[in-house]
A and B are shown apart, each in its own frame.
Chain A
Amino acid sequence: MAAAFDIGLIVLLVGIGAWMIVVRDVVVATIIFVVFGLLMAIAWVRLSAVDVALTEAAIGSGITGTLLLGAAARLKGADAGGTRLSFPITVVAAVLCAMISASLAAVALLLTYPAPTLAPMAMQNLDQTGLGNPVAAVLFAYRALDTLLEKVVLLLALVGVWSLAPDRAWRGVPSLDTTVPPSDILAFFAQILPPFGIVFAIYMTWTGASNPGGAFQGGTVLAVMWLLVMMAGVMRAPSISNVWLRWLLVAGPALFLIVGFTGVFIADGFLAYPPAYAKALIVAVEAALAVSIAATLGLLAAGPPERMQQK
């Protein structure tokens, strides 16, 4: 029965993916993409990757949807059509893509057992980190440098988005009001959901040390709640020149860096933790990162500033 469920899910995923490619309307294609993301969360659960399922559900649902649907609504007026490829070239492209699919499928079928794995090593050293979740141990202890640099990449992407602001809105406010016109029911929703969302985000960040979850998932939930209150007009979007906002953005990576350099003096090296305090340090870094990730992802979805702050 489990195999039948997997096959059903795979057929649905591939069908929806194909539909997204062929459907005419851009807005509908975007909606199908969000639906695809929500279904992918179930696929990750089937692959025993609950941490990834949480990330996919958090990022793939709300936040990507807001970003892409806002863009689709903006582009409606503009002539963004471009030129269509001629029919023979389309056929050639289809054949080549099918060949790539077939060779990847062959790779997937021909992989041999026993598969290479780092799981035993990850479990062996888990005690030293004080964590119970091996994925969190990989993210914050074994491969902490990757996670640190990823945070820097997020900030660089935000700098890139901001640098696309028109001159008149330089240091201004991102505009979210084009996506949904404010209404009383939306405002009500934006007052009901965030308390639950914030509790859930804290729970996600806290439980990430020993169960699936962590700073990325918690931070994304916080970002979604922030976007909701801004879209409903309950809270105003901040000006990107706000000093507090900028401190929030760098708080997580900064604490991570400080802890990393402290490791040079009190532990084995850069980004190494003294075993006695490992868990406390990691949880502190995760908490700061969750706040920074929330601010960064929320502002990435909000887009470049578009107008000056009203006085």
Chain B
Amino acid sequence: MSSTMDAFTVLAISCGAFFFVAGTIGLLRFPDVPTRLHALTKADNLGLGLVALGLLPQVAGPLAALKLIIVWLFALISGAIVTQLIVRAVR
């Protein structure tokens, strides 16, 4: 059982790391500010979500797991709003 869970963790975190790389490549390659912002917030937040998902089986109990999800939700909310703020500042 635990080895299945470990495999799940490794898989999900590897996927998360992949999306962090994707976000960074987008940041390096995309031509203007809105697209770079898109790469940064979308890909990185997905990466963070996958990392949190992968860590869920490794924590002690349901409350600790809930906290991981809350961390991700905070990052999502702030990412969405900060993106709007930055794009409006540029326009």
Closest chain-B Cβ to A113's Cβ sits at a distance in Å of: 33
Closest chain-B Cβ to A49's Cβ sits at a distance in Å of: 20
B77 at the interface (CB under 8 A from A): yes
Once the chains bind, are A189 and B81 in contact (CB under 8 Å)?
A: yes
A183 at the interface (CB under 8 A from B): yes
Once the chains bind, are A185 and B74 in contact (CB under 8 Å)?
A: no
Interchain CB contact (< 8 A) of A196 among B74, B81, B88: B74
Once the chains bind, are B81 and A192 in contact (CB under 8 Å)?
A: yes
B90 at the interface (CB under 8 A from A): no
Interchain CB contact (< 8 A) of B85 among A185, A192, A193: A185
How many contacting A-B pairs (Cβ < 8 A)?
15
B58 at the interface (CB under 8 A from A): no
Complex Cα–Cα for A189 and B88 (A): 14
Closest chain-A Cβ to B48's Cβ sits at a distance in Å of: 15
B35 at the interface (CB under 8 A from A): no
Complex Cα–Cα for A196 and B85 (A): 20
Once the chains bind, are B88 and A185 in contact (CB under 8 Å)?
A: yes
Complex Cα–Cα for A188 and B84 (A): 11
The A161-185 residues at the B interface (CB cut-off 8 A) are 183, 185
Q: Interface residues of A, CB < 8 Å — how many? A: 8
Give chain B's interface secondary structure class: helix
The B69-88 residues at the A interface (CB cut-off 8 A) are 74, 77-78, 81, 84-85, 88
Enumerate chain B residues within 8 angstroms of A188, measured Cβ to Cβ: 81
A245 at the interface (CB under 8 A from B): no
Enumerate chain A residues within 8 angstroms of B78, measured Cβ to Cβ: 193
Complex Cα–Cα for A122 and B85 (A): 47
Enumerate chain B residues within 8 angstroms of A186, measured Cβ to Cβ: 85
Once the chains bind, are B77 and A192 in contact (CB under 8 Å)?
A: yes
Complex Cα–Cα for A189 and B83 (A): 12
Nearest residue (CB) in A for B83 is A185
Complex Cα–Cα for A238 and B78 (A): 27
Enumerate chain A residues within 8 angstroms of B84, measured Cβ to Cβ: 185
Nearest residue (CB) in A for B85 is A185
Once the chains bind, are A183 and B88 in contact (CB under 8 Å)?
A: yes
Complex Cα–Cα for A123 and B18 (A): 44
Q: What string of 1s and 0s marks CB contacts (under 8 Å) between B6-49 and chain A?
A: 00000000000000000000000000000000000000000000
Complex Cα–Cα for A183 and B74 (A): 21
Enumerate chain B residues within 8 angstroms of A192, measured Cβ to Cβ: 77, 81
The A186-229 residues at the B interface (CB cut-off 8 A) are 186, 188-189, 192-193, 196
Enumerate chain B residues within 8 angstroms of A189, measured Cβ to Cβ: 81, 85
Complex Cα–Cα for A185 and B81 (A): 7
Enumerate chain B residues within 8 angstroms of A185, measured Cβ to Cβ: 81, 84-85, 88
Enumerate chain A residues within 8 angstroms of B74, measured Cβ to Cβ: 196
The A89-116 residues at the B interface (CB cut-off 8 A) are none
Closest chain-B Cβ to A259's Cβ sits at a distance in Å of: 33
Which B residues have a C-beta under 8 Å from some C-beta of A?
Answer: 74, 77-78, 81, 84-85, 88
Which A residues have a C-beta under 8 Å from some C-beta of B?
Answer: 183, 185-186, 188-189, 192-193, 196
Query: Given contacts A183-B85, A185-B85, A193-B77, could you give 6 more A-B pairs where the C-beta distance is less than 8 Å?
Result: A183-B88, A185-B81, A185-B84, A188-B81, A189-B85, A192-B77
What are the 5 tightest A-B residue pairs by CB atom distance, in nearest-first order?
A: A189-B81, A185-B84, A185-B85, A185-B88, A186-B85
Q: List 15 A-B contacts (CB under 8 A).
A: A183-B85, A183-B88, A185-B81, A185-B84, A185-B85, A185-B88, A186-B85, A188-B81, A189-B81, A189-B85, A192-B77, A192-B81, A193-B77, A193-B78, A196-B74
